[in-house]
Amino acid sequence: MNWNALAAIAELLAAMGVLVSLLYLAHQIKQNTLVGRSMARQGISSLAVAGGAFFAENKEVTELLFRALNGDPPDGPEGLRLQAACYMIMRQYENIHYQSDLGMLSQSEWTGFRENLKLFYRTDLFRNYWPQEAHLFSPSYRAEVEAIITETAPGGEDHLLHMT
């Protein structure tokens, strides 16, 4: 065997090594993407549980929200507390929207959250909240909320969400 043949074999083995390395790297990237999506979904679930727990455990804020959803919005310090609750809810949804934009949630998962968000914007409470606070949120999320507000415009019987 001559040196040219050995060099060709060495080049072939090196190319195969690079190919195997690239395949392994692709597999690792796929696994890391799945882990990232799983962690994002877990974080969103934790936020949802924490938000539910906040309202379940905070009777005063829950009563304020209940009153506001039924057409009796509080003012003064109670109104400020309710505004903070609205801000907290919208920040959670903004994070979920951001995760969706990054591809960490499937479109069907975002659609479920979006439908839930529509329920808020069928109420006067959130329709009145949004124009005052929209500037605090990302442009992408603002566009999404504006689309939801358009979709849930008054006029249909399902516009207002009354909780009794």
Tell me the pLDDT tens digit for each residue of 59-80. 888 888 888 888 888 888 888 8
* pLDDT of 6 strictly over 50: yes
pLDDT band at 36 (very low <50, low <70, confident <90, very high): confident
Q: What are the DSSP calls for 99-132, one per residue?
A: HHHTTSS-HHHHHHHHHHHHHHHTSHHHHHHHHH
Give CA–CA dist 83/32, Å, rounded.
Answer: 39
Cβ atoms 72, 163 nearer than 8 A: no
pLDDT band at 155 (very low <50, low <70, confident <90, very high): low
Cβ atoms 148, 121 nearer than 8 A: yes
* pLDDT of 32 strictly over 90: no
Best-predicted range by mean pLDDT (14-23, 30-39, 90-99): 90-99
Global pTM exceeds 0.85: no
Q: Is the dihedral of CA 147, 151, 155, 161 positive or negative?
A: negative
Cβ atoms 46, 54 nearer than 8 A: no
Tell me: the pLDDT tens digits for 115-141? 989 988 888 888 888 999 999 999 999
Give CA–CA dist 127/50, Å, rounded.
Answer: 24
In 10 A of CB 83, how many CB atoms?
19
